[in-house]
Amino acid sequence: MRKRFAVCIDNKGYEASLIPRKIYEVIPDERAAQDSFVRVIDESGEDYLFHASHFAFIELPEDVERAVIAA
């Protein structure tokens, strides 16, 4: 199963946790998604919920996905 990724497009209110234009790994959370939230691994290295409006969801080519995961 491939991982999901999102690019931060708005870090207002979360300046210490999210960096604009940075790619974040999305952690599956169906319950959060029902309320328009997304769980990502933020700058602290922990996974947290943020409103989905802070992100644009993207699909990466497999070789890029491997590179992002390895970074």
**What pLDDT, on a 0 to 100 scale, did the predictor assign at position 2?**
78
pLDDT tens digit sequence for 1-34 = 678 999 999 999 999 999 999 999 999 999 999 9
3 state DSSP class of 5:
strand
CATH number for the region 4-70 comes to 2.30.30
pLDDT tens digit sequence for 40-68 = 999 998 999 999 999 999 999 999 988 98
Whether pTM exceeds 0.75: yes
Q: Domain segments of the chain: what residues?
A: 4-70
Return phi, psi of residue 62, to 5°.
-55, -40
Cα separation, 40 vs 23, in Å, equals 10
**What are the C-alpha distances in Å from 26 to residues 2, 10, 42?**
11, 16, 10
Tokens of 40: 């990502």
Q: Which is nearest to 19 in space by CA: 40, 35, 34, 3?
A: 40
pLDDT > 70: percent of the chain: 99
